């Protein structure tokens, strides 16, 4: 009976978390109405062609420095080539240096640490606007968005621009939202991810099939556990695998 009680309490906490996320519109998205409207107004934002963006043909290693502590991420270009390529390209451009972790959720259950909004390093931007920004490509002067890209287990090609539910896929993704997973944040539109990313602070597999995981923290999870909302991402560096980036 005691074990059933503990199990019931655990499920109650998980259901409360899901309900709380739904009510606040969090679900790891650039969730403000303004950002959703801006994304939908950009031509092609809802259906970008995967071949138009950077691609990672293999793996790469990225080291984030937060609170003077390193966090090592292995970026998976085998299973998420365009999502991984976008991230490595932005790291190499220095887009993430000085950005803020603007959303860190640990209660009632460990959820995510989200950051990477390019506008968060601009002192003239109101912190309340953090989480609504995208990467603006200097070559075009327009935001760059990438398609939702998730590879089902047993498949040879990722599903693009659709959640698993909307695509009628029942099997789980190959890259799951286990603790330490790194994935792209987006608005309600599948193809609205740009620069913002999040690190899973616990096993949050209820996000599987809806958001694109592209790598995992392989060292420095203790540093991830210490990240507080408002902490700065001091630097992001590609340490290996940059030769796999195809622009």
Which two three-digit tokens encode residue 27?
A: 């679900």
pLDDT of residue 52: 75
Q: Which residues contact 208 (CB under 8 A, 6 or more apart)?
A: 164, 172, 173, 176, 177
Give the chain's domains with CATH numbers: 2-241 (2.40.100.10)
Residue 136, burial from CB neighbour count under 10 angstroms (0-12, 13-18, 19+): middle
Find the helix or strand (DSSP H, E) in which 99 lies.
Answer: strand 99-100
**pLDDT at residue number 3:** 55
Q: What percentage of the chain has pLDDT greater than the value 70?
A: 79
pLDDT of 14 reads: 53
The per-residue pLDDT for range 6-35, each reduced to its tens digit, is 445 555 455 555 544 443 334 444 443 222
For position 51, what pLDDT does the model report?
60
- pLDDT (0 to 100) of residue 28: 40
According to DSSP, the residues that pair with 197 across neighbouring strands are: 115, 184
**What span, in angstroms and rounded, lies between the C-alpha atoms of 232 and 107?**
21
**pLDDT grade, residue 53 (50/70/90)?**
confident
**Nearest-angstrom CA–CA distance, 13 and 57:** 40
* pLDDT score for 44: 34
Q: Is 198 left (phi over 0), alpha (psi -120 to 50) or beta?
A: beta
Q: Above 70 in pLDDT, residue 216?
A: yes
Six token digits for residue 70: 């390193």
- Summarize pLDDT for 176-202 with one digit per residue, the tens: 999 999 999 999 999 999 999 999 999
218-228 mean pLDDT: 98
In the predicted model, is pLDDT for residue 4 greater than 70?
A: no
Pick from 180, 190, 220, 186: nearest CA to 32: 186
Predicted confidence at residue 45, as pLDDT, reads: 36
Angle value at C-alpha 79, between 247 and 216, nearest 5 degrees = 95
Residue located via tokens 């609504």: 132
Averaged pLDDT score across all residues of the chain: 86
Q: Quick one: average pLDDT of 86-96?
A: 98
Kindly tell me if the per-residue pLDDT of 43 is higher than 80. no
- d(Cα 21, Cα 43) in Å, to the nearest integer? 30
Question: CA-CA distance, 13 to 108, in Å (whole number)?
Answer: 7
Res 36 pLDDT > 80: no
Task: Output the six-digit token pair for 209.
Answer: 């099939």
Per-residue pLDDT reduced to its tens digit, 116-175? 999 999 999 999 999 999 999 999 999 999 999 999 999 999 999 999 999 999 999 999
Q: Give the span between the Cα atoms of 161 and 191, in whole angstroms.
A: 6
Q: Quote the CA–CA distance of 51 and 65 in Å, as a whole number.
A: 31
């Amino acid at each position: 009976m005691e074990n059933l009680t503990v199990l019931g309490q655990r499920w109650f906490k998980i259901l409360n978390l899901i309900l709380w996320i739904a009510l606040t519109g969090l679900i790891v998205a650039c969730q403000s109405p303004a950002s959703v409207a801006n994304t939908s107004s950009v031509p092609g934002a809802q259906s970008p062609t995967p071949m138009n963006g950077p691609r990672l043909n293999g793996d790469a290693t990225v080291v984030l420095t937060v609170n003077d502590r390193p966090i090592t991420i292995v970026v998976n270009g085998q299973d998420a080539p365009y999502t991984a390529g976008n991230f490595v390209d932005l790291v190499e451009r220095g887009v993430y240096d000085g950005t803020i972790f603007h959303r860190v959720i640990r209660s009632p259950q460990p959820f995510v640490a989200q950051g990477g909004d390019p506008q968060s390093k601009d002192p003239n931007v109101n912190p309340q606007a953090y989480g609504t920004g995208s990467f603006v490509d200097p070559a075009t002067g327009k935001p760059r968005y990438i398609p939702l890209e998730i590879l089902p287990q047993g498949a040879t090609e990722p599903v693009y621009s659709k959640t698993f539910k909307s695509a009628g896929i029942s099997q789980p993704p190959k890259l799951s939202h286990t603790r330490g997973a790194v994935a792209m944040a987006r608005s309600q539109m599948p193809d609205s991810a740009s620069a913002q990313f999040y690190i899973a602070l616990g096993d949050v597999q209820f996000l599987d099939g809806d958001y694109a995981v592209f790598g995992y923290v392989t060292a420095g999870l203790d540093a991830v556990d210490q990240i507080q909302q408002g902490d700065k991402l001091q630097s992001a560096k590609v340490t290996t695998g940059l030769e796999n980036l195809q622009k």
